[in-house]
Amino acid sequence: MLNILSTIVIFQLLLLAVFLFTVNKGKPASNKLLAIFFLWLAFNLGDGLLSYYGFYNKFPQLAHLEDGFVFLVGPILYFYTRSIIYRRFKLAPKNIIHLVPFAVFTILFQLFYHLQPEEFQKVIQSAIQQQQLPAGFYFSIVVVYAHIVAYLYYAYRDIVYYRGQLREKFSHLGRRNLDWLMFMIVSVGILLLLSFVYSFLPLATRTLFNSGLIVLMGFIFGFINTIVWKALKQPGIFSGVDDELKKEKYAGSTLSEAERRDGCLRLDNLMTLEKPYLRADFTLEQLAAKTSMTPKKLSQLINENYHQNFFDFINSFRILEAQRLLKESTDAKLTVLEVMYQTGFNSKSSFNTLFKKKTGQTPTEFKKTL
């Protein structure tokens, strides 16, 4: 089981890495960062298996050559996330500071290990294979995982912030919502947790050590295949997003009370009479042009006077229109799907979620009660 599963997983990781290194679509920098992560994961698993089967007992001088690269995992995933979110993202010279832990650990550890006599290296490898390790080893594991988790947290935080900014500018999120990127970051977090528990298993029991390794491999197998499945269903997921989002604050805004009253009047009339929200990909900039306001002032008006972001503001009108169509339609064959498209939605899951949030019922349930 272990041999078959590990072979398949390593092959898939290498195949994905080669694909991302050679694919012409999307952002080259983003693709290469993700490819490096998959490449590291493949080599890390291969290195672990070689140690597991005692290869380094015979060739100890070849061991631990890639150990320091674990300190690149966090920065790679963090910069990959930012390269997907921000269209103009570029690695700058100042980012070299993120390489310091990798450089320090690699130099110190390689000097310590490879300057030892071969016999002592074999003693170390035997201890690793038999899981008879000193307490300092487990302390170093905690440091390594804390380093990666910190970067995952910052990547997660950037995605959450980005999603919040999306809701200020767009009425339909679609691929912009980056669900697949959030899935990947969360999955890597779960993988780290499983790997962390697996690393400490020898302290509690050795009987579950092999089973733990199979569980770890099984999770990676599921993770990789889910990424591939998502890419097949949505080929553009590795392309990132095309929208440049900037952090906007209202502190310097000059929106006066007269502008508020006039803006609300124009906005209410426009939404009631013209119903621009029926356009599927209606944006803040388009609404600002129709109300003769700047996007910043319009966003402030919606946030402060209607107590909603742009996404919720537009979709609240869509839900009301959907309710009206379902109530007033004389066409017995009118389907929920048709209503969804007529009211500006193009995602069934989003339509159902928002409709239920607003009414307490799904569109189908609402229709049945009429």
What's the pTM?
0.73
Q: Is 17 exposed, middle or buried (0-12, 13-18, 19+ CB in 10 A)?
A: buried
Average pLDDT over residues 135-163: 89
- In this predicted structure, what is the pLDDT of residue 308? 87
Q: Is 170 helix (H, G, I), strand (E, B) or coil?
A: strand
Lowest mean pLDDT among 4-8, 197-201, 233-237: 233-237
CB 256 within 8 A of CB 232: no
DSSP SS3 for 125: helix
Q: Which residues contact 86 (CB under 8 A, 6 or more apart)?
A: 244, 245
In degrees, rounded to 5, the angle at the alpha carbon of residue 345 between the alpha carbons of residues 175 and 342 is 150
Q: How many CB atoms lie within 10 A of CB 291?
A: 21
pLDDT confidence band for 23 (50 / 70 / 90): confident
Q: Catalogue the long-range contacts made by 257-262 (C-beta closer than 8 Å, 24 or more residues apart).
A: 259/293, 259/297, 260/301, 260/305
Q: How far is the C-alpha of 325 from the C-alpha of 342, rounded, in Å?
A: 9
**Window from 78-92, 120-134, 254-268 with minimum mean pLDDT:** 120-134
pLDDT at 127: 80
| pLDDT score, position 75 | 95
State the DSSP string of 10-73.
HHHHHHHHHHHHH--SS-HHHHHHHHHHHHHHHHHHHHHHHHHTTHHHH-GGGTTTTGGGHHHH
Residue range 148-153: mean pLDDT, rounded: 95
pLDDT of 66 > 60? The answer is yes
Domain residue spans in the chain? 2-239, 253-307, 312-370
Asked whether residue 179 carries a pLDDT value surpassing 60, the answer given is yes
- pLDDT confidence of 187, banded at 50, 70, 90? very high
Task: Return d(Cα 255, Cα 106) in angstroms, integer.
Answer: 56
Write down the mean pLDDT value for the chain.
84
| CB-based contact 181:27 (threshold 8 Å) | no
Tokens of 115: 């300057």
Name the CATH code of domain 312-370 (choices 2.30.30, 1.10.10, 1.10.1760, 3.40.50): 1.10.10
Mean pLDDT of 81-92: 83
Using 50, 70 and 90 to split pLDDT, how confident is the model at 241? low
